Amino acid sequence: MRKRHTPKDRLITVALHAALAAGLFFAAFPIYWMLSSSFKSNTEIFALPPTVLPKAFTLEAYAAILGDPVKLRFFFNSYFVAGAVTVLTVLIALLAAYGFSRFNFRGKGSLNTLIISTQTIPPITLLIPFFGLVVSYGIFDTYVALILTYLVFTLPYAILLMTGYLNTLPRDLDEAVAVDGGTSWTALWRVIVPISLPGVVATSVYTFLLCWNEFLFALTLTKSTSMRTVPIGIQLLMGQHAFEWNQMMAMSVLGSLPLLLIYLIAQRFFLAGMTAGSVK
């Protein structure tokens, strides 16, 4: 065991805690500033000297956002698109992951490599052909355009995540179904899916975040204000009311809530996913 009593040792411990505090300031101050600014009036945001805590606490920025149907629509659009893509992605990825995890077939290795490499395709490269396709199929400025294009980016990682999870489940489980004369399809839905919840949740979380954060496609493939998502809404707000900083911050706080909540809840699910498994 290391000795803990020398002055030098104590000095190191103190220095470490000072560094931790500096790190905390670096990581959290910008977020704290967003939060506190959202409760300030616009004049107070630029007060000199800056006020660390809102002096005149006000909810006017939140009232302005939540009372405006146009802005609420941004939130609805984001939730709807992210939700739809998540459901589709998880279903499609689950099937593919089952194929990868439980079968040996020709071309498995190269398909796997293909899926890994599609993760790194630059979005900007696909944007131009997507734009051409979306316009020529008449789905410009619709949910369908966003949902279809988001799928391409969520699927590869979802397949890898789900395959990784299914690989941790013992094969005896579904082989038992095969011995009883059941098909692999029956095994998938009767045996695999019910115990895959942690993997499904982890995949859903990741997919949802990816969609919630997406900017480039939402910017280019939609046009009318009623089709815009939250990230574009924030940008629009910045263009229209360049000095309504408190509203921009309130909208940023509201736009971050789902991610923060999911993180706090899903952290547990990730751990559960790693320790779970029906046969031990």
User: DSSP character for 120?
Assistant: T
Cα of 8 vs its chain's centroid, Å = 45
The nearest distance, CB 139 to other proteins, in angstroms, is 13
12 is a site residue for other proteins (CB under 8 A) = yes
Cβ proximity to other proteins: between 172 and 180 the closer is 180
Residue 107 CA: distances (Å) to CA of 41, 60, 201: 61, 59, 29
User: For other proteins, which stretch binds (CB under 8 A), given 60-68, 146-154, 167-175, 192-200?
Assistant: 146-154
Contact 251, 234 (CB under 8 A): yes
Choose which of 3, 7, 48, 110 interacts with other proteins (CB under 8 A): 48
Q: How far is the CB of 59 from other proteins (least distance, A)?
A: 19
d(Cα 9, Cα 3) in Å, to the nearest integer?
A: 8
User: Is residue 74 a contact residue for other proteins (CB under 8 A)?
Assistant: no
Contact between 274 and other proteins per CB under 8 A: no
Biggest CA-to-CA distance, the chain: 77
34: helix, coil or strand? helix
Measured from the CB atom, the residue of 24 and 70 that comes closer to other proteins is 24
Nearest residue to 99 (alpha-carbon basis) of 207, 203, 188: 188
Q: Is 131 in the site for other proteins (CB under 8 A)?
A: yes
Amino acid occupying residue 60: E
Q: Which stretch binds other proteins (CB under 8 A): 64-72, 165-173, 200-208, 215-223?
A: 215-223
Residues 27-46 that bind other proteins (CB under 8 A): 27-28, 30-31, 33-34, 37, 45-46
Give the pair of three-digit tokens for residue 94.
């689950």
Provide, rounded to whole angstroms, the least separation between the CB of residue 196 and other proteins.
14
| Binds other proteins (CB under 8 A): choice among 252, 266, 269, 273 | 252
Distance CA(81)–CA(211), nearest Å, equals 7
Spell out, one character per residue from 78 to 117, where the chain touches other proteins: x when CB under 8 A holds, - when not.
--------------xx-xx-xxx-xx-x--x--x-xxxxx
Output the smallest distance, CB 226 to other proteins, in A: 19
Spell out where the chain has E strands: none
Q: What are phi and psi of 127, to 5 degrees?
A: -60, -45
Q: Give the nearer residue to other proteins in terms of CB position, either 34 or 193.
A: 34
Tell whether omega for the bond before 30 is within 30 degrees of 0, i.e. cis: no
Show contacts with other proteins in window 181-200 (CB under 8 A).
183-184
Residue 118 engages other proteins in binding (rule: CB under 8 A) = yes
Give 200 or 230: the residue with its C-beta nearer to other proteins: 230
The torsion region of residue 154 among left (phi > 0), alpha (psi -120 to 50) and beta comes to alpha
| Number of residues forming the site for other proteins (CB under 8 A) | 82
